[in-house]
């Protein structure tokens, strides 16, 4: 057998029956949480460590320790980072093949400019920078601006499709204003609106919070809002999907599990999430993962809202999504 294995290795092949992972079962990793008090201090240290003359973006990348050195990202298929911009700073324009979204945590007059369209970044706002769109950031306020970056970097790394282009921006087409999508059931009839991503680059927090509050509560007291493309009614981008989950004090949600992966940002409130055999306690601005294939439920100790980023849509498009729940 030793000679046989040596010959196999020399021929660049291996015996499938000798591999422990031959059935391709991917066990779920444990959930992980990045706590805001710790991250906030590290953000201040990042500001002291570098400026925008030295950094393309001043970003702290959240690396899930359960992955070790073998895999990047906060969750499978999801790269999640913290980015900070100080008053008067700008992050120069660039574009890349990765889809990305931004969820603002702090800041008064920060903005992301996407394909020439300026998008304010107030706390709770969600901003899209879809694949191959030019984008840059600026900050004209008086306080530090901090936001979450979420990208499908691990997918592109696996597929070998990641491409980056620095600015200056060029070949930017005229886009319909956000006001042209304000009337429900009416959308512009223009080529620029018929993209694979939402033509709305900014989803303001005040609208999302109002829409969530208007929903009837489910039996378990929860409310869930889907961020969608106003043209198609589908997700905002092909590989990144996002939701806003509202939790009622003292009520535990029905348990569910899925083979998709999720990262939660605590917008406000406090509570706990049961994820497999683990229980994670969370508070405002904490970031935590919901790994695939783990039975999950949430219980708020005060009314809470969680912004959720998932790879669900990617799995749905590939027809490999699996979901189940317990009543």
% residues pLDDT > 90 (the chain): 82
Give the three-class secondary structure for 223.
Answer: strand
CA 149, 29, 240: angle at the middle one, nearest 5? 30
DSSP string for residues in 29-78: PPP-EE-HHHHHHHHHHHHHH--TTT-SS-EEEE--GGGTTS--SSBTTB
Please classify residue 216 by burial: count the beta carbons closer than 10 Å to its beta carbon, then call 0-12 exposed, 13-18 middle and 19+ buried.
exposed
| pLDDT score, position 165 | 96
pLDDT digits (tens, 9 = 90+) for 206-246: 999 999 999 999 999 999 999 999 988 999 999 999 999 99
Give the three-class secondary structure for 222.
Answer: coil
Q: Does domain 28-325 have CATH number 3.40.470.10?
A: no
pLDDT digits (tens, 9 = 90+) for 243-287: 999 999 999 999 999 999 999 999 999 999 999 999 999 999 999
Domain ranges, ordered by start, for the chain? 28-325
Predicted confidence pLDDT, tens digits, the chain (327 residues): 889 999 999 999 989 888 877 666 767 789 999 999 999 999 999 999 999 988 899 999 999 999 988 888 999 999 999 999 999 999 999 999 999 999 999 999 999 999 999 999 999 999 999 999 999 999 999 999 999 999 999 999 999 999 999 999 998 988 888 888 877 778 877 766 568 899 999 999 999 999 999 999 999 999 999 999 998 899 999 999 999 999 999 999 999 999 999 999 999 999 999 999 999 999 999 999 999 999 999 999 999 999 999 999 999 999 999 999 987
């Amino acid at each position: 057998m030793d000679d046989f294995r040596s010959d196999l290795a020399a021929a660049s092949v291996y015996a499938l029956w000798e591999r422990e992972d031959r059935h391709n079962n991917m066990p779920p990793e444990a959930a992980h949480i990045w706590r805001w008090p710790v991250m906030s201090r590290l953000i201040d240290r990042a500001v002291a460590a570098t400026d925008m003359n030295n950094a393309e973006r001043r970003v702290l990348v959240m690396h899930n320790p359960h992955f070790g050195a073998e895999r990047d990202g906060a969750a499978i298929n999801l790269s999640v980072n913290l980015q900070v911009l100080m008053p008067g700073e700008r992050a120069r324009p660039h574009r890349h093949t990765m889809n990305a979204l931004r969820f603002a945590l702090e800041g008064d007059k920060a903005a992301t400019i996407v394909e020439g369209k300026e998008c304010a970044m107030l706390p709770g706002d969600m901003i899209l920078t879809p694949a191959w769109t030019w984008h840059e950031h600026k900050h004209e306020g008086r306080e530090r601006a901090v936001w979450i970056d979420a990208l499908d970097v691990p997918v592109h790394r696996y597929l070998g499709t990641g491409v980056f282009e620095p600015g200056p921006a060029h070949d930017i087409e005229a886009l319909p204003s956000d006001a042209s999508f304000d009337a429900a059931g009416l959308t512009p009839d223009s080529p620029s609106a018929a993209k694979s991503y939402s033509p709305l680059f900014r989803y303001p927090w005040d609208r999302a919070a109002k829409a969530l509050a208007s929903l009837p509560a489910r039996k378990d007291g929860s409310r869930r809002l889907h961020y969608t493309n106003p043209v198609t009614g589908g997700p905002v981008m092909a590989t990144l999907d996002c939701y806003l989950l509202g939790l009622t004090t003292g009520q535990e949600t029905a348990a569910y599990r899925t083979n998709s992966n999720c990262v939660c940002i605590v917008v406000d409130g406090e509570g706990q999430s049961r994820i497999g055999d683990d229980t994670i306690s969370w508070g405002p601005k904490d970031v935590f993962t919901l790994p695939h294939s783990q039975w999950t439920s949430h219980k708020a100790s005060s009314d809470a809202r969680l912004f959720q980023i998932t790879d669900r849509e990617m799995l749905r498009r590939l027809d490999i999504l699996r979901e189940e729940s317990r009543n």
